[in-house]
A and B are shown apart, each in its own frame.
Chain A
Amino acid sequence: MDKNRNSKLLNWISGNFGFTLISILIGLIVGAVVLSIAGFNPIEAYGVMFKGVFSKPKYIAYAIIYATPLIITGLSVAFAFRTGLFNIGAEGQYIIGALVAALTGYFLKFPPVIHAILVIFAAALAAGLWGGIAGFLKARFGVHEVIATIMLNWIALYLNNYVVMLEGFKRPQTEASYEVHQTASIGLFENWKVSDAGREWLSNYPFLADMMRAPVNLGFIIAIILALLVWFILNKTTLGYELRAVGLNKDAAEYGGIGVKKSITISMIIAGALAGTAGAIQVLGVTKSVAVLAAMEGYGFNGIAVSLIGSNTPFGSVLGGLLFGILQYGGPKIQSALDAPSEVINIVIGTIVFFIAIPKFIKLVLSFRRKKRGEQHAS
């Protein structure tokens, strides 16, 4: 009985979820080791980080706001992954989505709600086409999508910088664009919360009042809806079935009458549209404008890590994104509180991804332990 439960536990650990948990644990341990080498108390540092995220409603709200775009770029990468493609281009697709959102949010004039919906669709469409370029190049010319999307990322970055600096879009004396109109905003109660009535009402609810100090917006809800949508498309539709079939075995799918080339392009379009939506909701919910980028902001690259941590599933991407948001928002707090370098977060994340890349290693360690135990029983 006990033995049975033990082997069940082992099986569970050897599943994807278990590997991920072990990888996260190893990542945190490596982070702790690096911190203590540098002369900091890792328990104290992690404690500061934890308190810096969970001790106030405002902090929690911020962590979720940080996590939101990462959840969606994670969904983008996960979607492509399930169809056998590696979307390193979420970064560029995000940039295109953000740029188009800023453009349509500023130049178009529509009533509230309709404006925001139109902007998000425009951004998703543009970024979908951007991702589609990589899909098309792969389907038509056999160009590896990893390389094509890396190139497209940089083209997107420079395109963004070019467009932001254009006369009429660039706000004078800044390196950023004009802000989107209020009608395109997805912020929650933005005007109301600073009005007299809003302040008075909120003063009765300290929890909500504190939370509303963060730029709370609809983004997280959109992210959850998108996660459900991705799950639905992948698991409950013919399209999803075909795309997954291509991901599992291209040749078998071809033999089964599925248009492999077409599905590669479609898959990259959907992945691109998702990442573009991430850019759009960030602009409409938080930044309100786009700026000249000196370097990649990392939403796409972090999305890759989010997807990997989430075992490339929609639900996993939500959890992975939240973990990432917590680490990214909590990380800088050890800088201000302890003077400890917040870059330890990147080391932790790098280590997690590294160990997720080598499930064989964890399997090896587990089987080694099992063998040893077996030997003991034998003697």
Chain B
Amino acid sequence: MLASIAFIIGTTLMYSTPLIYTALGGVISENSGVVNIGLEGMMTVGAFVGATVTYFSGNPWVGFLAAGLAGGLLALLHAIASVTFGADQVVSGIAINFLGPGLSLFFSRFFFEGSTMTKPIPLNQMMPRPFNGVFPKNSFLDQIFNQYATVYLAFVLVFIVWYVLYYTRFGLRIRAVGEHPKAADTLGVNVFKIRYIAVILSGIFAGFGGAAMSIAVVSNFRPTLISGQGFIALAAMIFGKWKPQGAMWASLLFGAAQGLIVYLGSTAINISSQILAMLPYILTLIILTGFVGKAVAPAADGIPYEKGER
């Protein structure tokens, strides 16, 4: 029993991590007033670049940072369209979701002899596990805490984003341009600059999220690796009411659903994994209807800002 609980908690943490990074990215972008449904594409690029750079450099941290950079570059396109050119942010996000997987698979074929799967990263080059060997092998605590470094980093980032967003001048500015860009502009805040930074940051985080999948949870990139996780992260962000800590809890819940599926798959208990997999999305819909407290998006979320507009 205890072993099962430890196993479920362990897998939950592992599967939640990519979602936490990406959902945090969503929190930053949407708090600045830019809807980002391109998270999926940015995450895919991150997963591909993370796996590829780690494979060739032999260093997972280099791969991880490169993944963030790649996600950020793709996000730059989204920023140019939605901030500078006042594009429909959903349309631009959809373009990103075509470009991300397109570029990833294209270059995967180019670097890996025509294959859309990157070569597996050798075990000794995977993300390190800081608590490996601290607890007795397969003990309760070992099952829970013997995680990849990316897992711990995700929780540290939740704290950092929460602090920055609510306790720093920069965070106040992000929220100001997301709630009332005109007022922020009047007070001398550069709306465009803040939104650019926020969108690029969201891409960097989504890139981390993808890499947390491809160089920690599994050891390579393949076409179906991300399929849908970016959208789950988007749901987690909304479920968490556009707040970093909320997004974290929601990601943990979604990860737990995944953990349960894995656990039940290894036992004889006959609950359809398909029904379980549905639950997070149904819960998100219920949350949105307002039965479980009101979820309010930043006021200017999705609305392009034009200087001098009344």
Chain A residues near B (Cβ < 8 Å):
34, 38, 86, 88, 137, 140-141, 143-144, 146-148, 150-155, 158-159, 161-162, 165, 294-296, 301, 304-305, 308, 339, 341, 343-347, 349-351, 353-354, 356-358, 360-361
Contact = CB atoms under 8 A, between A and B. Distances in A.
Nearest to A151: B281
B33 interface: no
Given A151-B281, A165-B274, A341-B109, A350 B98 contact: yes
A52 B243 CA distance: 50
A143 B288 contact: yes
Contacts of B35: 146
Contact of A150 (B105, B107, B231): B231
Interface of B: 35, 37, 77, 80-81, 85-88, 90-92, 94-99, 101-103, 105-107, 109-110, 114, 116, 223-224, 227-228, 231-232, 234-235, 238, 272, 274-275, 277-278, 281-282, 284-285, 288-290, 297
Contact of A357 (B95, B106, B234, B284): B95
Given A350-B102, A356-B91, A361 B285 contact: no
A155 B283 CA distance: 11
Given A341-B105, A360-B86, A353 B281 contact: no
A239 B169 CA distance: 51
A353 B274 contact: no
Q: Taking chain B's interface residues, is the majority helix, strand, or loop, or is none over half, making it mixed?
A: helix
A286 to B, nearest CB: 22
Given A143-B289, A308-B91, 6 more contacts: A144-B297, A346-B102, A349-B98, A353-B98, A357-B87, A360-B86
A351 B281 CA distance: 30
Nearest to B278: A158
A161 B274 contact: yes
Given A296-B228, A353-B94, A357-B92, A141 B99 contact: no
Contacts of A360: 85-87
B272 to A, nearest CB: 6
A66 B292 CA distance: 43
A366 to B, nearest CB: 14
B224 A294 contact: yes
Contacts of B228: 154, 295-296
Given A158-B277, A346-B98, A346-B105, A146 B282 contact: no
A146 B98 contact: no
Contacts of B102: 343-347, 349-350
B99 A347 contact: yes
B227 A162 contact: no
